[in-house]
Structure 1
Amino acid sequence: MFVPLYDGVPLRFTRLGFVTYGLIATCVLLQLALWRWPGQQGEIAIMAGFGLIPSVLFGQAQLPEGLVHAPAMLTLFSNVLIHASFAHLVGNMLFLWVFGDNVEDAMGHGRFVAFFFLCGLGGSLAHAAVYPQSDQPLIGASGAISGVIAAYLMLYPRVRVWGLAFKWIPVHIPALYTLSGWILFQAASAWFDPQGSVGWWAHLGGLATGAALTPLFIRRELRLFGRGPARG
């Protein structure tokens, strides 16, 4: 398990990754509102109404009458913005804080917004395809952030990232090793823990979507895999 803390990569094209920070602020504010919702049953209702439930998405089940909810198709996106717990929120937001601003810088603000939610969509669809009859809501930005991780790895594989291995061992090693190890952990978990409480297939779907979209979304003057800028 790897927890990123700092990468030190300066922004080249923008002064501030305000979309990244805006997404973090949105997730935090929504979570605070969720926690202030009266009673645990209220929290569960919000997760059910705005999380992605595959059986509802595919028309095999229906939500209870009177439950405030988003249209089933919209939950492919709305689930990205809500989280199950404080640890879930902090873990996702830390990855987005460390890696998101550099990916936003490489793509531009508008394209990064689209990239983030398309990766979330890819993760949502992957989860729904693997568990089409599931009645459990999928929530969390992990699929979208997995796409951001894929983009960062493709853009900055040689950058040395500060972080904690196994939650407490300080490390300072290239992103190629830290993030590749993280990706392998997701794949192994999806294989060995298929019925677990974590949406591993959402992570893998977001990763695949991010890897596919990154070459299309980055600025034309950039090159992938640390090969340096293009010559004019």
Structure 2
Amino acid sequence: MFPIRDHNPSGRTPYVVYLLMAANILIFISYVGIMDNDRLISRFYFDYAVIPARIADGFALETLFTSMFLHGGWMHLAGNMLFLWIFGDNLEDEMGHLPFLLFYLIAGIGAGLIHVVTAPDSVVPTIGASGAIAGVMGGYLLLFPKARVDVLLILIVYFRVFTIPAFIMLGIWLGIQFVGSLASNPDEGGVAYWAHTGGFLVGLILCIPLWLKRGGPEYWSRTHGHPPHPEHKYKLSQSRIPRVPRK
């Protein structure tokens, strides 16, 4: 189950979201050619990825920034850019361009630091924009909890698009990350669940002053938990899997 779009496209052009997407894509293209060379890619990750043990020793602090623009494959990149596209534009619209950029970078660095704190001895390189994007999702949940999100559900041969409130989709996602955080061993590599969980919470906390400035609960009352501009109506396509009537 993953989101494919929300029902509130941005009220103005999300230039920073476009810029971040372009930066992530172009940077990935710049080194994708060495990914089959173990020596070169290992050196590349050593220089630019977060390696908790190095940061815990006070080295390579700049990688908390550089690692946010690296990805381990096309699907890793595509998934992160999809989430950024869906949830980033409304947050940029509400914050303004420069504040949103600062928010994104702080959330990403915060997510990286939380990953380091939870695995200070790990020498596994960590890359990806997902910590920063998790921060975007946390802010989105606080400001627009009832925004309608279209989700694609895939169950083996069953494909269906349906609409749910953002708080359900994001709550399920956060729950999965938290359970993964408790069950995973960062020293063995894999998904950096604590970076996702931590980034989400950092983003939510960073958005509290903006939410309070807008009126807190009164803001939710005015907007009904949706982004404060007209909702776009989509025509959902029905599943092509034939229905078998019950006898």
TM bucket normalised to smaller: 0.7 to 0.9
Are the structure 2 counterparts of residues 160 and 78 from structure 1 closer, same or farther at C-alpha, using a change threshold of 3 Å?
Answer: same
**% identical aligned pairs:** 34
Specify every segment of 5 or more residues in structure 1 that has no aligned partner in the other structure, as ranges. 61-70
Say which SS state the counterpart of residue 134 (structure 1) adopts. coil
**Shift of the alpha carbon at 1:218?**
5.9
Match of 1:19 among 8, 16, 20: 16
Q: CA deviation at 1:156?
A: 1.2
- What amino acid sits opposite 1:198 in the alignment? V
For residue 205 of structure 1, what is the aligned residue in structure 2?
198
* Mapped partners of 2:112, 2:129: distance in 1: 10
Instruction: Report deviation, 1:84.
Output: 0.9
The reply on whether 1:173 has 2:171 as its aligned counterpart is no
Distance 2:216 2:118 in 1: 34
- Assess, with a 3 A threshold, how the Cα gap between structure 1 residues 219 and 116 changes in structure 2: closer, same or farther: farther
How far apart in 2 are the matches of 1:147 and 1:33? 26
Q: What is the rounded CA distance, in whole Å, between the counterparts of 2:198 and 2:70 in structure 1?
A: 18
Structure 1 residue corresponding to 2:121, chosen from 121, 129, 133:
133
CA RMSD of aligned residues (A): 2.1
Amino acid at match of 1:22: L
Secondary structure of 1:162's counterpart equals strand
TM-score (norm 2): 0.81
Q: Would you say 1:30 and 2:27 are equivalent positions?
A: yes
Alignment map for 1:69-108 (pairs within 5 Å): 72-108=60-96
Larger radius of gyration: 2
Q: 1:39 to 1:192 in 2, by over 3 A?
A: closer
Structure 1 distance, partners of 2:9, 2:74, is 29
Q: Report SS of the residue matched to 2:220.
A: coil
Question: Could you tell me whether the CA contact under 8 Å between 1:35 and 1:43 is conserved in 2?
Answer: no
**Pairwise CA distance, 1:3:** 1.6
Q: Is the 8 A contact 1:189 1:200 kept in 2?
A: yes
Q: Give the number of aligned pairs.
A: 216
Q: Which stretch shows the higher mean deviation, 189-198 or 84-93? A: 189-198
The reply to whether residue 154 of structure 1 matches residue 162 of structure 2 is: no
- TM-score, normalised to structure 1, is 0.86
Conserved 8 A contact 1:106-1:222: no
Q: Does 1:123 align with 2:114?
A: no
Distance of 1:182 and 1:169 partners within structure 2: 18
Tell me how far 1:143 sits from its aligned partner.
0.6
**Structure 1 residues 134, 7: CA separation in 2 closer, same or farther (over 3 Å shift)?**
same
**TM superposition shift of 1:215:** 2.0
Counterpart of 2:128 in 1: which secondary structure?
coil
CA 1:127–1:38 in 2, change beyond 3 Å: closer, same or farther? closer
Taking a change above 3 Å as real, the CA distance of residues 107 and 123 of structure 1, as seen in their structure-2 partners, is: same
**1:109–1:197 CA distance, 2 compared to 1 (3 A):** same
Measured in 2, the distance between the counterparts of 1:217 and 1:77 equals 24
The 5 A counterparts of 1:57-72 are: 57-59=55-57, 72=60
Give distance in 1, aligned partners of 2:72 and 2:62.
Answer: 19
Q: Compute the displacement of 1:28 (Å).
A: 0.4
SS of the residue 2:151 aligns to? strand
Deviations 1:52-91 (A, max 9, x none): 111111228xxxxxxxxxx611111111110111111111
Q: What residue number does 2:226 align with?
A: none
- Which consecutive unaligned segments of at least 5 residues does structure 2 have? 224-247
Q: Which moved more, 1:104-113 or 1:212-221?
A: 212-221
Aligned-partner Cα distance in 1 for 2:133–2:114: 15
